[in-house]
Structure 1
Amino acid sequence: MAKRLSLILLLFLVGDIYFYQAVITLTQNPVLHQGYWVVDILLIGGIISTLFMLRAGKQVRHLLSLLMTTMLLIFIPKLFSSPVLLTEDILRLFQGFPPRSVYISEAALVLAGLIFLVIIFGVTRGRHFYRIRKETLYFPDLPEAFDGFTITQISDVHSGSFSDAKGVQKGLDLVNSQNSDLLLFTGDLVNNLASEMDQWIPMFTNLKAPYGKYSVLGNHDYGDYIKWESNAAKEANLTRLKEIHAETGFKLLLNEAVEINKQGERVALIGVENWGKGGFHKYGDLKKATARVPDHSFKILMSHDPSHWDEVTVDHEQHVHLTLAGHTHGMQFGIELFGFKWSPIKYFYKQWAGLYKQGGKYLYVNRGFGFHGLKGRIGIWPEITVLTLKRAGAALTR
């Protein structure tokens, strides 16, 4: 964490130094020059001070989140406009480094301004700018009764970050309006505390699906990221969270499987506890969860962290047809336009958003319903996924 933050701060400074070249090209006002750096010094100093307070046990996460969001507001526009200045520098290299062009510096400034407006939208409206993403998946061994069966998936609610009840209700209304057969939630109901869900319980209770609502735990649900007065308090928090799943009508699957029945045919729905590579806990046990699932069953797995798919599921002794995950949030920042998608999270997770396929097995990574850390979303919008299952033979008749 500290190394990554140090790298971010270093990139922030380097980017600012580079963009400053455009500023001094456009104005010689010393007050503006000094103000440019005063903002940087105050911001970086504030972040470093807040980190020390956090390590000392003070509750300053919200302040740190605010400072990091402010840094993004300042840094990202400069970062994305820097290629304009870099292109100019490459041309200047072959011209003996003449003075910078005022017009190009103005173009860089205008581009930075436009990106700044996009970020403002992201941190003010983006957190509830829900997108419905639909996929149709074909399987040769899907039971015939399930041909056309629909699943709505949501993930990463992070109710402790919510403040706008109307915005949350807008998203939940969209979930219900999909009229899917099955509703699945793939973890991270809260940031840390079960009590974060208290005011939202009635809203989530109103979610409906004729074949049921099922859920699993995510890494944040265990309370591993805050200090507890005792292990008993931490365990009580997790017990309460499990009760909330039940109160909202979700059947929480803890390394276990259930059967979904339709017209006498069945699919196995499997849910594992959180399992993540790296420093994340590995509570999930796919072998235990599938112990009573027949080999020939059509299997749908809920597993919060997509790294579990690569590390465990793909090579599991039983064929898991479809895995649903979340966790990454698409880093809540990136670009998705005309089929192109990019986010810094791709350098940490091979599967980070959308649909993936390997060896006849599918993984879908939901971008998350809520938000955490960054108080909004920029380019990677909150997602409600709708998956339609089809028999592979149906594809041939289209």
Structure 2
Amino acid sequence: MVKRLFLFLILCLVSDVYFYQAVTTLSPNTLFRISYWLIDILLFIGLISLAFVRRVRNDTQRLIQILITAVLLVFIPKILSFPILLAEDVTRLWRGFPPRSFYVSEITVVIACLIFLIVVFGLTRGKHFYRLRKETLHFPDLPEAFDGFTITQLSDIHSGSLTNIKGVQKGIDLANEQQSDLLLFTGDLVNNLATEMEPWVEGFTKLSAPYGKYSVLGNHDYGDYIRWESSAAKEKNMQRLKEIHAEIGFKLLLNDAITINKSGQSIALIGVENWGKGGFHKYGDLKKAAANVAPESFKILMSHDPSHWDEVTLDRGHHIHLTLAGHTHGMQFGIELFGFKWSPIQYMYKQWAGLYSRDGKYLYVNRGFGYHGLRGRIGVWPEITVLTLKRML
């Protein structure tokens, strides 16, 4: 974490120096120059301090969110417009390094302003700019009765961050409009506290699916990221969270499996608790969850963290046909255009958004319904996933 933040700081500093050259080419005002660096120094101090935060207290979370927002607004336009000035330097090298072109600097600042507006959109409207993503998956051993069976997946609601009732309802309505057979939620209902979800219970109870609604826990659901007055208080919070899952109509699978029946045939739905690589807790137990599942069954696994797929699921002797995950949020920041996708999160997770396959096994990583940390989404929009299962002929 500290190493990656250090590299980001270097990138910010280099792009900052370049962008400053463009700004001073257009405006020699001394007060403007002092203000430019004063803002940067304050943000750098904040970022360095953030690297040494080991456990986030409730009263500091808002300050961290404000800092992240400010960093995006100030540095992202500079970083993304930096290549223009770098390209100009290549030509200046061959021309004996004359002064920077006024017009190139002007173009750089205009592009930075456009990027700034995109960031503002992401921080205001982007958090509820829900995108519907559909995939059709083919399996040779899918039971015939489930040919054409549809699944709507939601993930990472993070109710503690939600504030806009109409915006959230738009996402709920879009999910219901799909009229899928099954609705699955792959974890992180809250940020830390079960009470965060209570204002949203009524809205989410309206989600419906004829073959049921099922859920698993994500890393944030355990309350591991805040200080508790006692272990009993933490346990009470967990118990309340489980009750809320039931209140909104979700059957919570805790290292367990159920059978979904249709026209005399069945598929197995397995749900594990959170299991993540690195510093994340490994509560999930796939062996326990699938203990009573027949090896020949068609299996769908809900596992919040996609790293579980690489580290555990793929190596299991029993074939897990489809794994559904979330967790990454696509970092809520990136570029997804015309089939191209990029986000800084890809340097931490090999599977971070969308569909992946290996050896006839599929993983789908949902980009998340809500948001956390960054109070918005930029380029990687909130997602409602619809998967259609097809029997391969």
TM-score range, shorter-chain basis? over 0.9
Q: CA deviation at 1:82?
A: 0.5
What is the alpha-carbon distance in structure 2 between the residues aligned to residue 336 and residue 173 of structure 1?
24
Matched, 1:259 2:252: no
User: 1:93 is matched with which residue?
Assistant: 93
Query: Counterpart in 1 of 2:293?
Result: 293
| SS in structure 2 at match of 1:66 | helix
Q: Which residue number corresponds to residue 139 of structure 1?
A: 139
- Residue of structure 2 equivalent to 1:388: 388
Q: Indicate yes or no: 2:357 matched with 1:360.
A: no
Partner in structure 2 of residue 268 of structure 1: 268
Cα deviation, residue 64, structure 1: 1.5
Distance 1:196 1:215 in 2: 17
TM-score with structure 1 length normalisation? Answer: 0.96
Corresponding residue for residue 195 of structure 1: 195
Q: Deviations over 1:308-367 (max 9, x none)?
A: 001111111100000000000000000000000000000000000000000000000000
- Segments of 5+ residues of structure 2 without an aligned counterpart are none
Indicate yes or no: 2:240 matched with 1:240.
yes
Query: Within 2, Cα distance between the matches of 1:388 and 1:23?
Result: 52
**Map of 1:231 onto structure 2:** 231
Q: Deviations over 1:211-259 (max 9, x none)?
A: 0000000000001101111111111111111111011110000011000
The structural deviation recorded for 1:3 is 4.3
| Residue 70 of structure 1: aligned partner | 70
Higher mean displacement: 48-57 or 205-214: 48-57
Question: 243-252 vs 94-103, which deviates more?
Answer: 94-103
**AA matched with 1:210:** P
SS at 2:267's partner residue? strand
Note if 1:183 corresponds to 2:206: no
**Relative to structure 2, which stretch is displaced further, 296-305 or 12-21?**
12-21
Greater CA deviation, 53-62 or 25-34? 53-62
**1:46: Cα distance to partner?**
4.7
One-letter amino acid of the counterpart of residue 67, structure 1: L
Q: How many residues align?
A: 393
Distance 1:191 1:200 in 2: 14
Q: 1:54 to 1:346 in 2, by over 3 A?
A: closer
Relative to structure 1, the CA distance from residue 61 to residue 7 in structure 2 (aligned partners, 3 Å threshold; closer, same or farther) is: farther
Structure 1 residue runs without a partner (length 5+): 394-398
Which runs of structure 1 show a deviation greater than 4 angstroms over 4 or more consecutive aligned residues? 46-58
Q: CA RMSD in A?
A: 1.6
CA contact (8 A) 2:57 2:226 kept: no
Q: 1:367 to 1:53 in 2, by over 3 A?
A: closer
Which residue is 1:309 aligned to?
309
Partner AA of 1:87 in structure 2: A
- Indicate conservation of the 8 Å contact 1:54/1:60, yes or no: no
Q: Following TM superposition, by how much is the alpha carbon of 1:42 offset from its aligned partner in structure 2, in angstroms?
A: 2.9
Take 1:97 and 1:370, find their aligned partners in 2: how far apart are those partners?
Answer: 48
Q: Does the residue aligned with 1:314 lie in a helix, a strand or coil?
A: helix
State the Cα distance separating 1:4 from its structure 2 match. 3.8
Query: Matched residues in 1 for 2:374 and 2:249: separation?
Result: 29
The answer (yes or no) to whether the contact 1:54–1:61 under 8 Å persists in 2 is: no
Which residue of 1 is the match for residue 221 of structure 2? 221
Aligned to 2:113: 113
Distance 2:335 2:197 in 1: 31
Q: Distance in 1 between matches of 2:129 and 2:46?
A: 30
Give SS of 2:370's match: coil
Match of 1:129 in 2: 129
CA contact (8 A) 2:355 2:365 kept: yes
Residue aligning to 1:163: 163
| Structure 2 residue identity aligned to 1:162 | L
AA paired with 2:199?
Q
Partners of 1:137 and 1:389 within 8 A in 2: yes
User: Which AA in structure 1 matches 2:18?
Assistant: Y
* Structure 2 partner of 1:34: 34
Structure 2 CA distance for partners of 1:298 and 1:57, relative to 1, 3 Å = closer
Deviations 1:185-236 (A, max 9, x none): 0000000000000100111111100000000000000011011111111111
Q: Which amino acid aligns with 1:209?
A: A
Equivalent residues of 1:51, 1:64 under 8 A apart: no
Cα pair distance change 1:247/1:305, threshold 3 Å? same
Deviation readout 1:164-201 (Å, 9 max, x if unpaired): 11111110011111100000000000000000001001
